[in-house]
Amino acid sequence: MMTAVWLRAPARARLHALRELYRRFFGENTPDARGRRLLFEWLSPAQRAQFEEHRYFDVIGCDTGKTYRIHYGTAANVHEIDGDGRAMMGWCFVPSGFLVPGDVMLAQKIAIETDEKGALSLANRFPPATHSEQFYRRPF
């Protein structure tokens, strides 16, 4: 009887390892995960560190030199900020189609860095939420 239990333990361990491998492979190959990886490839080291810590990163507009903060999300996630990091104005502009947050944020980053005025001319403006109105979003 002891031999049968001993033989089953390695089989259970292999099955557990296989399930974990399967979970990691498919977890890392979802559209959202691929979008985040592509975004990370385009972020500077400072932007990447900022995003990993706060779930947003700052971008400098190519035309005005203003600073914009791009938060994790797909809409109403871009804020023009002042020198103290306070949101002054919200901007909503997104690429066409259904895209995951990483892809949307990358498009917003590129638009602000290469055609700030063009991007903002298409954007909807909105007043930024006060700190007490902002809600906590779960981490990835």
Are 25 and 18 spatial neighbours (Cβ–Cβ below 8 Å)? no
For the beta sheet containing 67-71, the strands, ordered from the edge strand earlier in sequence to the opposite edge, are 56-60, 67-71, 78-81, 87-92, 124-126
**Structural domain includes residue 132:** no
Per the structure, the count of domains in the chain is 1
Q: What is the chain's pLDDT, residue by residue, as a tens digit (140 residues)? A: 455 555 577 777 887 787 777 677 666 788 999 999 999 999 999 999 999 999 999 999 999 999 999 999 999 999 999 999 999 999 999 999 999 999 999 999 999 999 999 999 999 999 987 544 444 444 55
Are 79 and 91 spatial neighbours (Cβ–Cβ below 8 Å)? yes
- The pTM is what? 0.76
**Structural domain includes residue 14:** no
Residue 68's H or E segment, with its range, is: strand 67-71
Boundaries of domain holding 39: 34-127
Structure tokens at 100: 């995951």
**Structural domain includes residue 62:** yes
Q: Is the dihedral of CA 41, 76, 49, 24 positive or negative?
A: negative
**Structural domain includes residue 102:** yes
**Structural domain includes residue 134:** no
**What per-residue confidence (pLDDT) applies to 81?**
97
**Structural domain includes residue 11:** no
